[in-house]
Amino acid sequence: MSPRNLPYFLSGLVVRGFGRGSKALGIPTANLEDKVVNGLPDDFDTGIYYGWASLNGETYKMVASIGWNPFYKNEKKTVEIHVLHTFENDFYGKEIQAIFTGFVRPEKDFTSEAELIKAIKSDIAFAEEHLIQPDMLAYKNKFLTG
Active-site option among 75, 80, 88, 107: 80
- Phi-psi group of 128: left, alpha or beta (phi > 0 → left; psi -120 to 50 → alpha; rest → beta): alpha
Task: For the beta carbon of residue 96, count every other beta carbon within 10 angstroms.
Answer: 23
Task: For the beta carbon of residue 2, count every other beta carbon within 10 angstroms.
Answer: 9
Residue 10 main-chain phi, psi, to 5 deg: -150, 160
Active site residue 128: no
Question: Residues with catalytic annotation?
Answer: 80
